[in-house]
Structure 1
Amino acid sequence: MNETYFIGLDIGTTSTKAIVFTRSGSIKGTGNVDYPLLVPQPSWAEQEPDAIFAAVIQALRQAIAQAGAQRSEIAGIGFSTAMHSLIAVDASGNPLTNVIIWADNRSVEQTERLKRDGTGHRIYLATGTPIHPMSPLTKLIWMREKDPDTFRRAAKFLSIKEYVIYRLFGQFVVDYSIASATGLFNLKRLDWDEEALRVAGISAQQLSEPVPTTHVLRGLDKRYADEIGIDPDTPFVVGASDGVLANLGVGAIEPGQVAITIGTSGAVRTVVPEPITDQKGRTFCYVLTDKHWVIGGPTNNGGLMLRWFRDEFSWPEVEKAKELGVDPYDVMIQAAQDVPAGAEGLLFLPFLSGERAPYWNPQARGSFFGIGLHHKRQHFIRAVLEGILFSVYSVGIALRDLAGGAREIRASGGFARSREWRQIMADMFGYEVLIPETHESSSLGAAVLAMHAVGAIRDLSEVNGLLRIAHRHEPDLERSGTYLELFYIYERVYLNLLEEYKLIADFQQRSRTSQHTR
């Protein structure tokens, strides 16, 4: 009997990745295709939708070819995608705009207005999506006000996943998970929210039909089936967002299990049995299934901060790494190990690109606080490592308030390659940190959801039979106490600089705009 394979297709911010898994979770083939980020104006972030569609076809073709899989052996393909994207299309499904992605901040003015009048908080409590420029809700208001011609011409407003599905199947459908990240979807009714639609100025007919994350699509356009190398009747499972699927992919789907991902940015998430929103507005609530709701929060400033410090200030470590033939990050992190926990009183607030959870403040800016003559470059490296984790820890505090304490943390992302950085996380959170062997958590989650949708597994908890824990880290309680003391100062610094953040962000915006128009 031939082996059957499941593919997790992850449409990310910088690339699309397709991974072929066996039923037991082994990786048999991968495909990865990059595409550029477009910044046509300061604070804008866009991508070209047809470039992403082409990457989907190419990545699937690469992965299947590398796996040596026959058409009949592909038992299911599951979609994972980044959240909060928006494309306006005409009546024929042709794009009128580029993909406006989660990192786009053009709708700051509209966001602040929604927050001031109380409407935003009501919509957040109903939809689970915080009021922030990342949200398609605020992007739609911006488009209506600032690009009214495109807004009037648009027949529908889609995410990148919906656009890809329309190209492949000719259907306008959106899974509950991606819908729940739009700010337009009512969590209790699992349908478009009337007040949010009114505020956005659109109708439900201009959005796709919401379907469960396990919804199966068949009847792939034969042209694309032949190009990919699969049967047109291969089941595609509409899937979910990359965030909630990352929880599934690391096996953190029971109460008390917290998933933390730190790549370019970061996120903290836990699963609860029913939708929960936060009266303080700190966290999101997104759908995985009708029995699994993911609450948590994303941070803007993850490993990107360490790369920034490497590029701008850490040239001695970079030169040493060249001499030794090793990764510069390894040298930097090793240098930080010569500094005690807390960097001898040096704090880094890593808000170089504003911040999402738990503050949802696009105007926040980064700072080093507490600099003394005794601080050397290695102190700054240590402070950057700790500051990134402080931003993640602040989201963990909000989750503890809503869902109770954690019993374990499952961590993934680029940071997880560093033993020292993983230990800092365990010390700061005060819980055991487990590192699953696979780094492809969203892709694995998409494949597992596909397995469940087509009946290859009975329950999502079976994912734990596909995982192996590669590393475990127990916290050092003395260092935990140090971090608790410093986090109190970290939060006070943030709260005491709120007005100054607004002033400096406005100055920076005017400066960038002036430079851009010269």
Structure 2
Amino acid sequence: MNILALDLGTSSVRGLLLDGDVRPLPGALARRKTVLTADGDGAGTLDPGQYLACLIECLDELHEGGHLREVDLIAVSAQWHSVLPLGVDDEPLGPVLTWLDTRPEPSSASGGPADQVDYHQRTGTWWHRCYWSVRLPWLRAHAGTRVGRFTGLVEYALGRLLTDAPMSMSQASGTGLLDLRTLDWDPEACALAETRGGDLPDLATRDWRGRLRPEYARRWPALAQVSWAAPVGDGAASNVGSGCVDDSRAAVTVGTSSAVRLLQRMPAHAAQTPLPQRLWRYRVDHDHVVTGAAYSSGGNLFAWADRVLRLPTGPALEQALALLPPGDGVPVHVGFGGDRPPGDRGAGSGELRGLGFDTTAVQILAGLMHGVCEQVVDDLVLLESMAGRPVDVVLGGGAMAASAWWRRAFAQVLTPRRVDFGRHPEIGATGAALVATGRITDAVVVADISRTDDQAPATQA
């Protein structure tokens, strides 16, 4: 059994083939970088047409390479929180707002949830600019014409390829409008979002499977009869791909941004454990939830430093970092991209402090990287309060794979916890495949979790 796994992220679109053991097949990978538009006003947008073109190009490349011939299932890891307004003709009215966009503000005409604590427990979210409860009214006010309906970027792209593309429970939970227990749109959240009847996506059933439209079935004949599984939010997929599938392990993932998360079994309509006020909760599928905190800072800080500072390149950079203790570097505040919920600071809140004429570019980078490590500690303590005990930590994501120094810095900051590194290169794609095949419990084996040999001595058992 081969699985085509699609990773539909913010910075790139990837397609790769996995074998029956959910291992990547050599050479069967196609990737396209997306064009994210960001500015000082807090915009963080993607062009829906260009994004769809990236996805089609990936599938074309895999088809031309002969990699689609034995695919039995298509799994999707998908970015959370994006929203796209469509006109009455079902065409985009503008760009896609990604999680990075901090421009939407709550309507002054609305007072917010009647009971903020209960709202948070039901939806796992807050009345915040990251969620559709705030974004939809803002988009209507700025659309310049009548909005027919709203959709997520992933639902838009899949809706062009498939005969139907309802929103999965995982994706719907990322909008902030879903009641996590009933698995239906929350009436109060929808009222805050000023939704109008059928302007929200249909919700996928537990057994939903998608099929290609005839024109794309002809384009990729090997996929004509292949089923598409419901998309899994990228954070949830990354937890599964990291092997963090119960409350004994928390995943700390650093890609473009970063997050700390704990996965628990929590079936629909069952009682839910109380949600700490500072944490969010989203669905993995109908039976599991992931609870945690996300941050706007991660590998994007490294990308900024690489672009702006005169950093060494390649192995020379890692050698220069190795000369600095993991806690060294200039003091920083890593809010370059603003706060993720529940914080409300806008983009441009980052700070570099204590600079002198002898401060080096590598010291600035080290301070930024160490700041990313420190931001997770307090929220990890909250997750441990849910588990009732200390938890192990598994580091994952492209930024972690790229830097041994960064892994050592995390190990130092998180001491005395056991800190491991998930060496699997495609945690989002493999996590989505494991969810799609009902094999979440196999994730620990697939993730290739191992104690890293590059941790600070203080963390070793």
Q: Please state if 1:426 is matched with 2:426.
A: no
Q: How does 1:325-364 map to 2 (within 5 A)?
A: 327=314, 330-343=315-328, 346-356=330-340, 359-362=343-346
**What's 2:195 paired with?**
202
Offset, 1:172: 4.9
Contact 2:421-2:452 within 8 A present in 1 as well: yes
Contact 2:85-2:93 within 8 A present in 1 as well: yes
Q: How does 1:179-258 map to 2 (within 5 A)?
A: 179-212=172-205, 215-218=208-211, 220-258=212-250
CA distance in 1, matches of 2:108, 2:247: 34
Change (3 A) 1:163 1:382: closer
Partner-residue secondary structure (3-state), 1:145? helix
**What's 1:461 paired with?**
441
Partner-residue secondary structure (3-state), 2:170? helix
**What's 1:94 paired with?**
91
Offset, 1:265: 1.1
**What's 1:310 paired with?**
306
Change (3 A) 1:67 1:260: farther
* Correspondence for 1:386 among 355, 366, 370: 370
Which letter maps to 1:466? V
Offset, 1:125: 2.9
Aligned residues: 451
Partner-residue secondary structure (3-state), 1:252? coil
Extract unaligned runs of 5+ from structure 1.
Answer: 322-326, 453-458, 481-518
Which letter maps to 1:259? A
CA deviations over 1:294-330 (Å, ceiling 9, x no partner): 00111111122223233333x2x43xx4xxxxx1xx4
Offset, 1:179: 0.4
CA deviations over 1:107-128 (Å, ceiling 9, x no partner): 1x31799788766655333211
**What's 1:483 paired with?**
none
Contact 1:215-1:239 within 8 A present in 2 as well: no
Contact 1:333-1:382 within 8 A present in 2 as well: no
User: What fraction of aligned residue pairs are identical, expressed as a percent?
Assistant: 23
Larger Rg: 1
Change (3 A) 1:376 1:301: same
CA distance in 1, matches of 2:354, 2:408: 24
Change (3 A) 1:418 1:347: same
Contact 2:411-2:459 within 8 A present in 1 as well: no
CA distance in 1, matches of 2:448, 2:191: 48
CA distance in 1, matches of 2:92, 2:396: 35
Contact 1:20-1:64 within 8 A present in 2 as well: no
CA distance in 2, matches of 1:81, 1:16: 10
CA distance in 2, matches of 1:53, 1:462: 32
CA distance in 1, matches of 2:137, 2:247: 36
Contact 2:75-2:230 within 8 A present in 1 as well: yes
* Correspondence for 2:380 among 396, 416, 436: 396
Which letter maps to 2:132? P
Contact 2:32-2:54 within 8 A present in 1 as well: yes
Q: Please state if 1:472 is matched with 2:452.
A: yes
Change (3 A) 1:58 1:307: closer
Q: Please state if 1:124 is matched with 2:110.
A: no
Contact 2:243-2:449 within 8 A present in 1 as well: no
Offset, 1:33: 1.9
CA distance in 1, matches of 2:199, 2:123: 18
Partner-residue secondary structure (3-state), 2:399? helix
Higher mean alpha-carbon deviation, 364-373 vs 136-145, is at 364-373
* Correspondence for 1:12 among 4, 9, 13: 9
Q: Please state if 1:270 is matched with 2:262.
A: yes
Contact 1:6-1:75 within 8 A present in 2 as well: yes
CA distance in 2, matches of 1:137, 1:284: 15
Which is richer in helix? 1
CA deviations over 1:412-455 (Å, ceiling 9, x no partner): 12222322221221121122222233221111112222323xxx
Partner-residue secondary structure (3-state), 2:376? helix
Partner-residue secondary structure (3-state), 2:230? strand
Contact 2:427-2:447 within 8 A present in 1 as well: no
Change (3 A) 1:418 1:114: farther
Contact 2:150-2:199 within 8 A present in 1 as well: yes
Change (3 A) 1:402 1:203: farther
RMSD: 2.9
Q: Please state if 1:291 is matched with 2:287.
A: yes
**What's 2:432 paired with?**
446
Contact 2:257-2:299 within 8 A present in 1 as well: yes
CA distance in 1, matches of 2:273, 2:110: 21
Offset, 1:89: 1.9
**What's 2:269 paired with?**
none
Change (3 A) 1:406 1:372: farther
Contact 1:128-1:277 within 8 A present in 2 as well: no
Contact 1:213-1:237 within 8 A present in 2 as well: no
Offset, 1:287: 0.6
Change (3 A) 1:339 1:45: closer
CA distance in 2, matches of 1:101, 1:172: 19
**What's 1:35 paired with?**
34
CA distance in 1, matches of 2:110, 2:421: 40
Offset, 1:88: 1.7
CA distance in 1, matches of 2:453, 2:207: 35
CA deviations over 1:455-492 (Å, ceiling 9, x no partner): xxxx4212334332355258658589xxxxxxxxxxxx
Higher mean alpha-carbon deviation, 88-97 vs 185-194, is at 88-97
Contact 1:214-1:239 within 8 A present in 2 as well: no
Higher mean alpha-carbon deviation, 368-377 vs 89-98, is at 368-377
Offset, 1:34: 2.4
Contact 2:217-2:223 within 8 A present in 1 as well: yes
> TM-score if structure 2 supplies the norm length?
0.88
Contact 1:127-1:180 within 8 A present in 2 as well: yes
Extract unaligned runs of 5+ from structure 2.
Answer: 267-271
Contact 1:435-1:471 within 8 A present in 2 as well: yes
Contact 1:349-1:366 within 8 A present in 2 as well: yes
> TM-score if structure 1 supplies the norm length?
0.79
Offset, 1:388: 1.3
